[in-house]
Structure 1
Amino acid sequence: MKILMISTTFPYPPSRGGTQVRTFNFMKYLSQKHAVTLVTQSGEEVGDREIEQLRGCVSELRVFRRPKNSPENRLKLFKKLQRFGRFIQTGIPPSVLSSYSIEMQEAIDAYASDRAHDVVTCEHSVNEIYVRPEWCDRLPTVANIHSSIYGTYRQQVETSTSEKPLRDRVQLPLIRRYERGYCRKFSALVVTTEDDARQFREFGTEARLEIIANGVDFDEFTPRERDPGGYRIVFIGAMDNLPNIDAARFFALEVLPLVQIRYPETTFEIAGARPVPSVLELQNLRGVTVTGTVPAIADYLHQATVCVVPMRTGYGIKNKTLQAMAAGTPVVASDRGLEGLKVDGSEVPLRALRANQVNEYVYAVGRLFEDRRLREQLSRQGRKMVEREYNWEILGRRYEQLLLELVESRP
């Protein structure tokens, strides 16, 4: 099978973020048996060494420079295109247009027209812009969506966690129209959880819909050798991501002070790249540390008493939750943080503690601070679950099977 894979996110190293992790691991698995042509973009953060290492993972690699999006260029774009007006006119969000490259489009068009590939995959929904609607008639096309943009925006509006509430409320119908519209171009849609799948079913899509979760790199996230005890809480994730920013601020400002009343030694580490000013300012609070980029997230998980995942918005399975469980760190998380995971209930062993309200977080964290046996249970059961169900080998095989079935059913 010859696969044309499109990813505007440069998927190497896979430790840079959730999109890179998913794209790289599917690419790595498929490349073992199939010829993968990867078309991607690079920015200033990508060096020649990363490009050469990625080149060794695929049959063919085409790298295009990411379009510059400096403040000056954005201002010119606003004036020239009247950004919001263009959104209304074209139905394409500015976040999608900002990474669009004409040169990359021409290359992808050439690959599609030479009929040398059996299937096209878009690794993240932002890449849908490069797929022509007419391809679906002769070439299987797959959108590996990761999570619903509309679902996430709707959550932020409903929970009053939007960065710009009025703007998001006005744009919400446009985003729904956009997401529903691009689905029609694809033979199959891949999402990570049933919640996400339900969102796309509401659109009435005729495309095949598959749920394939994220996985964990077990070489990187090894189980910790001992329980460190203490009163150390950690939250991990990219700190320029709005749902992560909201989660970090919610916990630091509303939950942590109440935990510290009972456990004065409690600390809260926010470990993740690119912290924005609203995250950095949390360091002014007692016991809070913002690390920025760290050499190994697993080290922070191993040293923590508890990992919290206090997400209030964001569709899709959360890598941070899977990584904490793989590292053997007890997890306290919201319904959003545990989306797609069976961690509690009468039919499964307890694998994490669930909390959504402030008092629930305070109670759950306190339980884990005081009960070593409970920490050991969550550590052991969480690791077992991710080993059995969230292995990239298993998930890659499911992705491969989907592509093979689409190719075999092609007229």
Structure 2
Amino acid sequence: MNIFMLSSTFPYPPTRGGTQVRTFNLLKYLSQNHNITLVTQRESDVTDLEIAGLRDCVDNLVVFDRPSDQRTSAGILKKIQRLGKFIFTGTPPSVLNRYSLEMQAWIDNFVKSGKCDVITCEHSVNEIYIRPYFQNQVKTIVNIHSSVYGTCLNQLATGTSENQFRDKINLPLLRRYEQVYCSKFSNIVVTTAEDKQQLQQFNSQAEIAVIPNGVDLVSFPNRPTDPGGHRIIFIGAMDNLANIDAVCFFSNEVLPEIQKIYPDTTFDIVGSRPDPAVLLLGEKPGINVIGRVPSMAEYLHNSTICVVPMRTGFGIKNKTLEAMAAGIPVVGSDRGLEGLAVDGINTPLRALRANQPAEYIAAISQLFEQPELRYQLSTHARQLVETQFTWEIAGQRYEEVCLED
């Protein structure tokens, strides 16, 4: 089968963030049995060596330069203009800002040539390149990493919105946008049942498959020993708003209370591109802002506990799965553990759940004090990942969607 994959995010190396990891591992699986044409965009930090590495993974790689982002334009007039454009076009500025007319022309010609059997949009932001009539000629799939409407709704509900006034205006526009773009696709893929339920409200007849994220078990081996101690870690891209909110919340409201009980407690923040707000956290006692590292597994293995204190952001979190695969006991919020059966009746305990500061303090104290509990979580979590959340399993399910009549 000839599969045409669209990804405006350059998906290599697969260590840059959640979007890249999912896209790369799915294309890697599909390329074993199918002919893959990948069209993507490069940003200024993408090297020629990385392009060569990605080219080795597909049959045909086409790379365009990423358009310059206009969102940095300040001033009330610019903001009003962007909102007006959103209302008029029905497409969010975050999608329009990465749109390339040159890339659109190439895609139109490629589809017209009849050289593909399936088009997959890897992340909903790529929907802008899909013409409504494409689905009359070829199967079209959108791989939605998280609902933009659902995410905005959640941020308003939890008080984690960066700009409540703006997001209250955007909410009905995002609902309309998601409803319209989903109608262009033969099939929809989401990462959690929650997102499926959200999108099913827009179109009860839509073909929606739930395909969770996975983990590369070679890159994230089970840790050989429990290091003990009082070392806490958070992993993730540190220019991501949901991650920034998570580490700020934990550093300001939880960690100081933990350090009163366990004064030697440290908190490592590991992930690429730390935001200025994250770098400031490094001035607090015991907090280490480490940035991008060659091996995330190595840092996980040296930690006592991994926290996933997300207060916003939909979908299964790669960071949670990677920590579980590495055998690190996890303390996470409802958002951080979304889509994972980690507790409850007839479910082996695989992580501890916490949402409020007092709940984090209690859970972390429990794990610091009880090595047998750490071992229990570590063992059960690793088994869960091995049996349900590998990229091999996700790839098989994605291939099935591509092959369905």
Give the TM-score, by structure 2 length.
0.97
Runs of 5+ unmatched residues, structure 1: none
Instruction: Indicate the residue corresponding to 1:46 in structure 2.
Output: 46
Question: Aligned AA for 1:299?
Answer: E
Instruction: Indicate the residue corresponding to 2:2 in structure 1.
Output: 2
Question: Aligned AA for 1:174?
Answer: L
Please tell me whether residue 62 in structure 1 is matched to residue 62 in structure 2: yes
Whether the 8 Å contact between 2:107 and 2:129 is mirrored in structure 1 is yes
The 5 A counterparts of 1:263-274 are 263-274=262-273
Instruction: Indicate the residue corresponding to 1:234 in structure 2.
Output: 233
Whether the 8 Å contact between 1:332 and 1:354 is mirrored in structure 2 is yes
Q: Secondary structure of the equivalent of 1:40? A: strand
Q: 1:297 Cα deviation (Å)?
A: 1.2
- Separation in 2, partners of 1:75, 1:375: 48
Question: Aligned AA for 1:46?
Answer: V
Question: Aligned AA for 2:137?
Answer: R
Q: Secondary structure of the equivalent of 2:367? A: helix
The 5 A counterparts of 1:39-118 are 39-69=39-69, 74=73, 82-118=81-117
1:279-338 residue CA offsets vs partner (Å, 9 max, x unmatched): 111112211111111121111111110000001111100000000000000000011111
1:11-33 residue CA offsets vs partner (Å, 9 max, x unmatched): 10001110011000110111111
Q: 1:70 to 1:175 in 2, by over 3 A?
A: closer
Q: 1:207 Cα deviation (Å)?
A: 2.5
- Separation in 1, partners of 2:54, 2:83: 36
Whether the 8 Å contact between 2:70 and 2:97 is mirrored in structure 1 is no
Q: 1:138 Cα deviation (Å)?
A: 2.3
Q: 1:248 Cα deviation (Å)?
A: 0.4
Please tell me whether residue 337 in structure 1 is matched to residue 336 in structure 2: yes
Q: Secondary structure of the equivalent of 1:82? A: helix
Instruction: Indicate the residue corresponding to 1:201 in structure 2.
Output: 200
Question: Aligned AA for 1:170?
Answer: I
1:31-52 residue CA offsets vs partner (Å, 9 max, x unmatched): 1110010000001111111111
Question: Aligned AA for 2:276?
Answer: P
Instruction: Indicate the residue corresponding to 1:184 in structure 2.
Output: 183
- Aligned CA RMSD, in angstroms, stands at 1.6
Question: Aligned AA for 1:208?
Answer: E
Whether the 8 Å contact between 1:184 and 1:205 is mirrored in structure 2 is no
Question: Aligned AA for 1:14?
Answer: P
- Separation in 2, partners of 1:15, 1:220: 10
The 5 A counterparts of 1:9-48 are 9-48=9-48
Q: 1:71 Cα deviation (Å)?
A: 7.3
- Separation in 2, partners of 1:273, 1:44: 16
Q: Secondary structure of the equivalent of 1:6? A: strand
Q: 1:277 Cα deviation (Å)?
A: 1.3
Q: 1:79 Cα deviation (Å)?
A: 5.2
Question: Aligned AA for 2:63?
Answer: V
Whether the 8 Å contact between 2:71 and 2:97 is mirrored in structure 1 is no
- Separation in 1, partners of 2:241, 2:92: 17
Instruction: Indicate the residue corresponding to 2:210 in structure 1.
Output: 211
- Separation in 2, partners of 1:88, 1:384: 48
Instruction: Indicate the residue corresponding to 2:362 in structure 1.
Output: 363
Instruction: Indicate the residue corresponding to 1:134 in structure 2.
Output: 133
- Separation in 2, partners of 1:261, 1:52: 51
1:364-385 residue CA offsets vs partner (Å, 9 max, x unmatched): 0000000000001111111111
1:36-89 residue CA offsets vs partner (Å, 9 max, x unmatched): 1000000111111111111111111100000122677x469x759921110010
Q: Secondary structure of the equivalent of 2:30? A: helix
1:346-398 residue CA offsets vs partner (Å, 9 max, x unmatched): 21211100111111100000000000000011111111110110111111011
Could you list the runs of 4 or more consecutive aligned residues of structure 1 that deviate by over 6 angstroms after TM superposition? Answer: none
- Separation in 1, partners of 2:78, 2:353: 47
Question: Aligned AA for 1:351?
Answer: R
Q: 1:310 to 1:395 in 2, by over 3 A?
A: same
- Separation in 1, partners of 2:264, 2:55: 48
Larger mean CA deviation between 368-377 and 163-172 belongs to 163-172
- Separation in 1, partners of 2:204, 2:101: 28
Instruction: Indicate the residue corresponding to 2:254 in structure 1.
Output: 255
Instruction: Indicate the residue corresponding to 2:160 in structure 1.
Output: 161
- Separation in 2, partners of 1:360, 1:300: 25
Question: Aligned AA for 1:67?
Answer: P
Please tell me whether residue 171 in structure 1 is matched to residue 170 in structure 2: yes
Larger mean CA deviation between 204-213 and 181-190 belongs to 204-213
- Separation in 2, partners of 1:27, 1:259: 43
Question: Aligned AA for 2:37?
Answer: T
Question: Aligned AA for 2:83?
Answer: F
- Separation in 1, partners of 2:107, 2:205: 25
- Separation in 2, partners of 1:100, 1:70: 11
Whether the 8 Å contact between 2:304 and 2:328 is mirrored in structure 1 is yes
Q: 1:343 Cα deviation (Å)?
A: 0.8
Whether the 8 Å contact between 1:279 and 1:290 is mirrored in structure 2 is yes
Whether the 8 Å contact between 1:236 and 1:272 is mirrored in structure 2 is yes
Whether the 8 Å contact between 2:153 and 2:171 is mirrored in structure 1 is yes
Question: Aligned AA for 1:54?
Answer: L
- Separation in 1, partners of 2:157, 2:93: 22
Count of aligned residue pairs for this structure pair: 405
Q: Secondary structure of the equivalent of 1:20? A: helix
Whether the 8 Å contact between 1:183 and 1:205 is mirrored in structure 2 is no
Q: 1:58 to 1:370 in 2, by over 3 A?
A: same
